[in-house]
């Protein structure tokens, strides 16, 4: 029987068949070398870099959620650079989101440029240029940190008509929020460091695809460059998947409440949350996404006011990652991101909404 409920799927994703006396999720296998059959040679486990049963279990679990074959990496950045470098060659052109994760743009303007790969920057919300002559189109939707959304199916159709591949960074929504492979993407990349694992204790990334040729290229790249996650991180990540549905539900509910609060305050500007009915991305997000992530962006006008807000808050931690159990806020300009000095990305945790409302109201009043 195939179960469609998100809660059921994440609890059972990637678990082995039950064996009496064994735990539901067996502990991590730390081996680097394994015993080999002296006649037959290596079986499924030959050496720990390309082969690890704990990592394979995690990949199977994430793959069942994304709807494709998955390769896990040591971080989201390791995954996205592996995808780029295994698909692009000298003379190629790649289209990247101008408002997406800034480290990817820095990588393109440095390493990819030095390798002879041309970059075209396109806003997530468009307008999109002709993709003629483009090898790869990378989308990030909702974009981090501005939260614009694009129509994956429409952009993928235009890119494919021009002969380009399409990859989607699925970090912010996770596969429970949207499944880009079903919307026409050739590849999915994501940082599992964020909401996917959600406990702020793991660095992880992955690439997913249903294209056997692309899978083979990324597999070879990972085996030869070695950017794999360790067995314990893989086990921690797999453990964390079981609560993904519950965590996302509370985070999204909290974000909807806090977005309404922030949007109603005259001292808070440019509130963005794709779940708000008046948000520019609401229509596309509502049609495309299965749930809206628990991320809000807004502007407090200055770096000093952001600092006062964070100092006054008792529940909002200053932190640069997002998607965890605790509500956090990050002033993106401090990292060199192309945002205004008072721009804040708020990641809603799983605290009670009434407590968050009271805390943010008091902190904003004091700030």
Q: What is the pLDDT of residues 279-333, one digit of tens each?
A: 999 999 999 999 999 999 999 999 999 999 999 999 999 999 999 999 999 999 8
pTM: 0.96
pLDDT at 300: 98
pLDDT at 38: 85
Count other Cβ atoms within 10 Å, centred on residue 278: 7
Instruction: Give residue-wise pLDDT tens across range 8-38.
Output: 999 999 999 999 999 999 999 999 889 888 8
pLDDT at 32: 87
pLDDT at 43: 82
Q: Indicate if the alpha-carbon torsion angle 130, 136, 140, 144 is positive or negative.
A: negative
Burial of 199 (0-12, 13-18, 19+ CB in 10 A): middle
For 170-200, the DSSP string reads -TTT-TTT--GGGGT-SEEEEETTTTTT-SS
C-alpha span between 364 and 271 (Å, rounded): 14
The three-class DSSP label of residue 206 is strand
Strands 136-140 and 165-169: parallel
Q: Which residues contact 57 (CB under 8 A, 6 or more apart)?
A: 14, 15, 16, 25, 234, 238
- The 3-state secondary structure of 41-82 reads ECCCCCECCCCCHHHHHHHHHHHHHHCCEEEEECCHHHHHHH
C-alpha span between 252 and 336 (Å, rounded): 28
Q: Which residues contact 259 (CB under 8 A, 6 or more apart)?
A: 271, 273, 275, 276, 296
Residue 269, both tokens: 């500007």
pLDDT at 251: 98
pLDDT at 330: 96
| Residue 184 backbone phi and psi in degrees, to 5 | 110, -5
pLDDT at 217: 98
Strands 205-209 and 269-272: unpaired
Terminal alpha carbon distance of the chain: 55
Domains and CATH numbers, the chain: 6-241 (3.40.640.10), 245-366 (3.90.1150.10)
Residues of the chain predicted below pLDDT 70:
1
pLDDT at 336: 80
């Amino acid at each position: 029987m195939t179960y469609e409920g998100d809660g059921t799927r994440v609890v059972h994703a990637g678990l082995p068949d039950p064996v009496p006396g064994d735990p539901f999720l067996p502990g991590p296998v730390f081996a680097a070398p394994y015993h080999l059959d002296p006649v037959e040679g290596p079986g499924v486990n030959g050496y720990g870099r390309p082969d690890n049963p704990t990592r394979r279990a995690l990949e199977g679990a994430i793959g069942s959620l994304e709807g494709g074959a998955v390769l896990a990496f040591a971080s989201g950045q390791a995954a996205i650079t592996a995808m780029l470098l295994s698909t692009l060659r000298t003379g190629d052109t790649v289209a990247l989101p101008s408002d997406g994760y800034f480290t990817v743009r820095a990588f393109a303007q440095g390493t990819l440029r030095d390798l002879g790969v041309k970059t075209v920057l396109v806003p997530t919300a468009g307008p999109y240029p002709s993709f003629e002559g483009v090898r790869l189109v990378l989308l990030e939707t909702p974009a981090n940190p501005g939260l614009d959304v694009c129509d994956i199916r429409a952009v993928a159709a235009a890119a494919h008509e021009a002969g380009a591949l399409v990859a989607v960074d699925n970090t912010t929504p996770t596969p429970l929020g949207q499944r880009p492979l079903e919307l026409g993407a050739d590849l999915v990349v994501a940082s599992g460091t964020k909401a996917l694992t959600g406990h702020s204790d793991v660095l992880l990334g992955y690439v997913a695809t249903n294209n056997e040729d692309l899978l083979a290229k990324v597999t070879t790249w990972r085996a030869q460059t070695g950017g794999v996650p360790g067995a314990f991180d893989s086990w921690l990540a797999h453990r964390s998947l079981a609560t993904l549905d519950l965590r996302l539900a509370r985070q999204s509910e909290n974000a909807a409440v806090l977005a309404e609060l922030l949007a109603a305050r005259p001292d808070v500007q440019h509130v963005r949350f794709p779940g708000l009915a008046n948000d520019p991305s609401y229509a596309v997000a509502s049609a495309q996404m299965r749930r809206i992530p628990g991320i809000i962006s807004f502007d407090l006008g200055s770096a000093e006011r952001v600092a006062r807000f964070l100092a006054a808050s008792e529940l909002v931690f200053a932190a640069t990652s997002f998607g965890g159990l605790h509500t956090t806020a990050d002033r993106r300009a401090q990292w060199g991101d192309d945002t205004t000095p008072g721009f804040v990305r708020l990641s809603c945790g799983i605290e009670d909404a009434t407590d968050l409302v009271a805390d943010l109201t008091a902190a904003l009043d004091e700030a």
